[in-house]
Amino acid sequence: MKFDLTDKKKPSWDRRQISVWKYRELLPVEDRESIISLAEGGTGLHKCRRLGRKLGLKKLYVKNEGENPTGSFKDRGMTVAISKAKELGKKKVLCASTGNTAASLAAYSARAGMDCIVLVPKGKVAGGKMLQVTMHGAKIIQVKGDFDQAFVTALELTKRSRELYLMNSLNPYRIEGQKTLAFEITDQLDSKTPDTVILPVGNGGNISAAWKGFTEFEQLSIAKTRPRMIGIQAEKASPIAKAVKRGEDKIRPVHNPETIATAIRIGSPVNWPKVLKAIRESKGTAETVTDSEILQAQRDLATLEGIFVEPASAASIAGLKKLRASRRVDPSETIVCVTTGHGLKDPSILDRLPKSQPGYNLEITDRTSLDNLERVL
């Protein structure tokens, strides 16, 4: 898909409310009647002063994609992809997913009146996401194995049946919607580009889409520069980060990836060439974080800034902390960490939180217990 980015004229969207479709001139849907929307985009860019002080940063922002309709960044791409599917006359859509794509596709296909099939790795999808898929009426197929096996199965199904329209991030219209993340960040900073953007990386669609968005705004002369792009992966699911660290042009897939951050538990990301390109062109980098670092970052963001995100989202914060410790991020930089999904997506995390804080197990049954409670308050 090509857009006319040569006339240098800013499209007439200044008076529109911030959303994905605010930038419809740069999106590949021609028929407005085909647009399927749940009011996605327009997520908050939160200046995080308390967390910033803890990390020694003056200009730290969190772009909280958990504020989207189904609770994740996937809605940006899905609104455009579903709208294009409708424009193309598609009736039946499917995807492989670790959870968020499935939840988003289920919601948007329900809105569009399309049949929806989702393939998920059996027993490896967070309960909150499975609940969403079920409630939206999608047909769920559980595949033995990990996401990569589910994705191979989805590809085979689309090859066998022309009725099935694949909605994973290989679908180019998904990337077109997700690039609006970069548009919004730039607009929310009054047309100023941040120095660094840090994102969790699973299949790699989001970081490559954001780079595409920043590039298009530079080509339109809306922004003067592009940011450094940094991708963060879980330590035991990090083929892209390891390739960057080794200076290699190809990834080595990770078999049986493992991490508490289920949304980025992907060992063979299909978008790896685009991710490496974005990191290389932006003079960025990639880093890995452990599950314990992810959980601590999740808790820091919640307790210091009131922003509750799922573990995969917190990878960007954990990565920033690691980058600061090694002085690869300067205190004067304007930094945007992207958090990709809401914390309620994965309620099982409650079982991993510490139970040692005062009063946690204290029950009030009589006056004596009330006196004990007063002492710990």
The answer to whether 298 and 309 have CB atoms below 8 angstroms apart is: yes
Domain 74-171, what fold?
Answer: Rossmann fold (3.40.50)
Q: Output the DSSP codes for 292-326.
A: HHHHHHHHHHHHHH---B-HHHHHHHHHHHHHHHT
pTM exceeds 0.95, yes or no = no
Q: Per-residue pLDDT averaged across 64-90, rounded? A: 97
Give the model confidence (pLDDT) of 216-239 as tens digits.
999 999 999 999 999 999 999 999
pLDDT digits (tens, 9 = 90+) for 137-157: 999 999 998 898 999 999 999
Q: Read off the pLDDT of residues 163-182 as tens digits, 9 standing for 90 and up.
A: 999 999 889 999 999 999 99
Every domain of the chain with CATH number 3.40.50.1100 lies at 20-71+174-352, 74-171
Q: Of 107, 108, 114, 164, nearest to 133 (Cα)?
A: 107
Tell me: pLDDT of 357 over 60: no
Q: If DSSP codes are grouped into helix, strand and coil, which group holds residue 196?
A: strand
Question: Rounded mean pLDDT of the chain?
Answer: 92
Q: Which amino acid is at 242?
A: K
> Nearest 5°: CA angle at 246, between 171 and 208?
25
Is it the case that residue 8 has pLDDT exceeding 90?
A: no
Q: Give the per-residue pLDDT at 1.
A: 40
Note the CATH number of domain 20-71+174-352: 3.40.50.1100
Share of the chain above pLDDT 70, in %: 92
**Average pLDDT estimate for 237-260:** 96
